[in-house]
Amino acid sequence: MGADEVLLDVDHIGIAVSALTTAVAEYRAALRVEPVHREVVQDQGVEEVFFRTGSSFIQLLGALGPDTPVGRFLARRGEGLHHVAYRVRSIEEALDRLRAAGVPLIDEAPRSGSRGTRIAFVHPKGLHGVLIELVQAP
């Protein structure tokens, strides 16, 4: 890994689902994956379930209500890929780099994510239509 590299690895793929418990059961049965973590993140209006796949995770996202980011996403687009999350050494360094490159940010500063991580979201319009989350391990 080069010293100049911003992204270390894929942390997780976030998938918006309309019924979390049902989706978890279907993922377990179809893909033979076991949930390793479940957490409600109140300030994001989501409940998250993680399945480990190698060094990364699948993250199923259930909305806590219709007037939340994932609730609005489901109403507008339906279930499916919501975001791709990359591990970074330093969120501040990654945000500085993106800002310098002219990429629009959703979060100008890091905030708390699930699993004790620090996270920041990058606007999809700056990266060809994909919502990107930066994740710094605790």
Point out which residues bind Co ion (CB under 5 A). Answer: 14, 85, 133
Q: What's the gap between Cα 99 and its chain centre? A: 20
Specify the residue, 37 or 99, whose C-beta has the smaller distance to Co ion. 37
Structure tokens at 58: 């699948």
Give min distance, CB of 64 to Co ion, in A. 15
Pick from 29, 37, 5, 6: which is nearest to 132 by CA? 6
Residue nearest to Co ion (CB): 14
* Residues β-bridged to residue 83: 14
Give min distance, CB of 66 to Co ion, in A. 20
Pick from 53, 56, 68, 55: which is nearest to 16 by CA? 68
Contact 84, 46 (CB under 8 A): no
How far is 103 from 11, CA to CA, in rounded Å? 21
Give min distance, CB of 13 to Co ion, in A. 8
Specify the residue, 2 or 88, whose C-beta has the smaller distance to Co ion. 88
Give min distance, CB of 74 to Co ion, in A. 15
Give min distance, CB of 11 to Co ion, in A. 8
Residue 96: strand, helix, or coil: helix
Specify the residue, 47 or 133, whose C-beta has the smaller distance to Co ion. 133
Specify the residue, 58 or 103, whose C-beta has the smaller distance to Co ion. 58
Specify the residue, 28 or 37, whose C-beta has the smaller distance to Co ion. 37
